[in-house]
């Protein structure tokens, strides 16, 4: 296996097929600015959400990738305590199946690298799926499947009002 790559911010160029998409962003910030802020590793630029209980970030890849870790840098006090990741994995019949992982970031301002443990979504954790993912099947997986997209659902914000501030996000992995 090749050494892990920073999938979103590689020195030779990102593997994204389009800018990151966010469920919300603060007033005065556009979706493109939010995407650039999270990818550029600048300590002064960030994505700021509107006050909500759940936030979504969606990445689409130009080529299938196998992801092993997610890297995040939050503003302490404006993080979340659980992230549900939904991976779009192509099937042999041309459709997509959904593979799931959970990570539990700490509420701190330093970079975190969290391993992705793939599996099926426990019934107790299911809750409502994002609308665009509800039509996909939940399927157990072992190892890192080749995915063409991922949606992060940031739950349980640390901030009383539900705001999240993210300075950096990337994935470690390799091209499939």
For 75-119, how does the pLDDT look when each residue is reduced to its tens digit (9 = 90+)? 999 999 999 999 999 988 988 888 889 999 999 999 999 998 887
CA distance 53 to 116: 23
Residue 19 to residues 10, 12, 31, 116, 124, Cα–Cα distance (Å): 14, 16, 8, 22, 32
CA distance 68 to 9: 15
Q: What is the pLDDT of residue 109?
A: 93
pLDDT range class, residue 18, cuts 50, 70, 90: confident
Q: What is the pLDDT of residue 82?
A: 94
CA atoms within 13 A on the CB side of 115: 5
Q: What is the pLDDT of residue 140?
A: 33
Q: What is the pLDDT of residue 12?
A: 47
Per 3-state DSSP, what percentage of the chain is helix, strand, and coil (rounded to 5)? 10, 45, 45
Helix (H) or strand (E) holding 31: helix 31-39
Q: What is the pLDDT of residue 137?
A: 38
Least confident of 31-40, 87-96, 131-140, 160-169: 131-140
Domains of the chain, start order: 5-175 (2.60.120.260)
CA distance 28 to 25: 8
Least confident of 12-16, 82-86, 114-118, 133-137: 133-137
């Amino acid at each position: 296996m090749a050494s892990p790559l920073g999938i979103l911010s590689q020195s030779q160029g990102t593997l994204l097929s389009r800018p990151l998409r966010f469920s919300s962003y603060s007033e005065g910030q556009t979706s493109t600015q939010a995407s650039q802020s999270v990818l550029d590793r600048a300590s002064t630029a960030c994505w700021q959400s509107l006050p909500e209980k759940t936030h979504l970030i969606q990445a689409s890849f130009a080529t299938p990738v196998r992801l092993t870790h997610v890297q995040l840098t939050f503003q302490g006090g404006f993080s979340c305590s659980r992230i549900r990741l939904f991976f779009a994995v192509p099937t042999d019949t041309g459709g997509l199946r959904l593979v799931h992982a959970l990570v539990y970031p700490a509420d701190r301002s330093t970079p975190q690298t969290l391993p992705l443990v793939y599996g099926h979504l426990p019934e107790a954790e299911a809750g409502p799926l994002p609308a665009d993912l509800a039509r996909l099947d939940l399927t157990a997986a072992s190892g890192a499947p080749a995915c063409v997209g991922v949606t992060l659902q940031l739950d349980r914000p640390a901030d009383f009002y539900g705001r999240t501030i993210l300075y950096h996000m990337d994935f470690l992995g390799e091209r499939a």
